[in-house]
Amino acid sequence: MNIVIFGPPGAGKGTQSKFIVNKFKLHQLSTGDLLRNEIKNKTKLGSEIYSIINSGELVSDQIVGNLIEKFVSNNDYKNKIIFDGYPRTLIQAKNLDDLLKKYKQKIDIVLKLSVSLETVKKRIFERQAIEKRTDDSEEIAIKRYKTYEKSSEPVIDYYKQSNLLKVVNGEAGIPEINSEISGLIDTIKG
C-alpha cells in the first residue's frame, strides 16, 4: 500500500505520517526532510536550494523527482511508502504515477489534511520554538501557505478524478485525526 499525504504547511502531515508509519509498517518519504538534509550536509544541491526553501517557494519538479526515485526504486520499500509533501504540483503528480508504474506500483489513497491559515500560523509558531526550522517564521509560513494554495488545486482535482482523494479535518485533535485516518486506510485494505 502506497499513501500520499497532502496539505498546507503546519497541517500535521509529518505527525500523521509518523503515526501511519508505526501503525501500518510503512516508510515515510518526506521531500522536505530530504531537502533539509542536503542543506545540513552542505552538499552542492543543498546550497542551490537553500534560498528557495527559505523564501517559501517550491524547489523545481526535477530536483524533487530525482530525490524520490532512489526511494521508489528500492525494493525494501516497495508498496510500503507514505509520500509526505510530495507531490505538490500537477507535474509532480503525473511524474509520480509514471515512476510508480515503472516500478510496478501505484498509489492506493490520497489523504488531504484541511486546515485554515489561522491554524497554520498557530502551529508553525509552536513548532518554531521546538524545531527551529529556518522557514518557519510567520512571514515565510504565510508565503508557504500561499504557495500551497496556488499549486495544490490541480493536484487535488487530479486525485479527485482518479477517486483516490479523501479529505480529513486537520483542525481536529491529533488522536481524532489518527483514528479518522486509520479508518480510511482500513477501508482500502479491505
Taking phi first (over 0 means left), then psi (-120 to 50 degrees means alpha), and beta for anything else, what does residue 3 get?
A: beta
Residues forming contacts to ligand AMP in the complex (CB under 6 A) are 9, 31-32, 35, 52-53, 56-59, 64, 85-88, 92, 135, 144
Q: Nearest to ligand AMP by Cβ — which residue?
A: 32
Q: Which is nearer to ligand AMP, 56 or 170 (CB)?
A: 56
Query: What's the min distance (Å) between Cβ of 189 and ligand AMP?
Result: 26
Q: Which is nearer to ligand AMP, 62 or 179 (CB)?
A: 62
Q: Which is nearer to ligand AMP, 52 or 184 (CB)?
A: 52
Q: Is the dihedral of CA 143, 144, 147, 148 positive or negative?
A: negative
Query: What's the min distance (Å) between Cβ of 14 and ligand AMP?
Result: 7
What is the chain's Cα-based Rg? 16
In 23-143, where do the E strands start and end? 27-30, 81-84, 109-114
Give the whole-angstrom CA distance, residue 46 versus residue 27: 23
* CB 107 within 8 Å of CB 100: yes
By DSSP bridging, strand 3-6 and strand 81-84 are parallel
Residue 115's CB: how many other CB atoms inside 10 A? 21
Q: Which is nearer to ligand AMP, 12 or 85 (CB)?
A: 85
Query: What's the min distance (Å) between Cβ of 15 and ligand AMP?
Result: 12
Q: Which is nearer to ligand AMP, 26 or 64 (CB)?
A: 64
Q: Which is nearer to ligand AMP, 66 or 169 (CB)?
A: 66
Cα angle 184-154-178, degrees, rounded to a multiple of 5: 20
Per the listing, cell 486509520 goes with 182
